[in-house]
Structure 1
């Protein structure tokens, strides 16, 4: 302890042991800013957070998660963000460097992520109202300049015309090529060429991945 309100711990294990209860104790606001999901938690902790969010008092608790676009490069992290959004949390991305990697809970306690060292990553926990208020203001300004996750994902389809979007919907529906081609009114050869174009634009490794992406964007169902 330094001044009675600040504590420094090292490594995620010690952070969980000394401050884990804080993550479950949020009642008004849970505000997280990080480069990616690896800053704060292991995969099992992430799934636990989503479960609590789904069953918690979402009407009172505002959950805000702010990341850099690097978080979208990893499929597991992308899916977690989709889950958070589906459970009622707000997710935004900001290309500029974040002022701090931090978590602020109910504007009364803050956890700052520091540098990595021999003892693990350094985390500072504080209830200093001055520090908490200052960092929260910086985070909020960065949040306001961020782009909602859904808007970022929609931009990924900017290179697709109406026919390609129809093909994407067919992929999301899990249709075979022959059935998909008939649904969108294309020859089988043209349909397959369009599928290849869609995969390229979305940087998807498979038709299934492209279909999942379409589902997350709400491009499911319906006919053309």
Structure 2
């Protein structure tokens, strides 16, 4: 396994464009970098939210979960904000679309495993984007980890066995059939096999992106613990999701 994480882009000048209005989501707008890349720019974010996005992005990449390319930008004071590559004209999650999603059981199961790992209680229909690919197929993109508890590592370490509660976000989960549960369990096994070196690299990269080097050791501690215990946390989360259906 590669010890070097897929790095988070550092973006300098941004040229703001139109606002994006999505229910239950952080305020955002389209912004364009000097190289022409179109980003969704969340300007009003705290350090802990940027950290949650950054570490979740890196872990998603390790799990091959489809997430848009991530980046950070700094304002004149050096405060970071999160960038996510713009997905044009997506639909949002509906359980009725599950059968049309590319690799639906595998990606949804992996998403559940990652949400359980980072303690993301903010999964809702608006942050599962579905890109139209032709012939009725949809490519999923999983976004918006800003409110995951992993962004406040000391707090999460204080309740380190926390099982995310999916009820407040009113997420309508996919059917938790055998294929989805099998994919989630397989993702958890991969997480449990992450080496300390891999997790240390991700903690360093995420804290550098979020401009919070003082949180690196605490973030690594909570990642090491949550990864090792995901085998017991995930089944509880899947039961909570099933209860929401």
TM-score, normalised by the number of residues in structure 1: 0.29
Higher RCO (CA-CA < 8 Å; seq separation 6+) = 2
Higher CA-based Rg: 1
TM-score, normalised by the number of residues in structure 2: 0.27
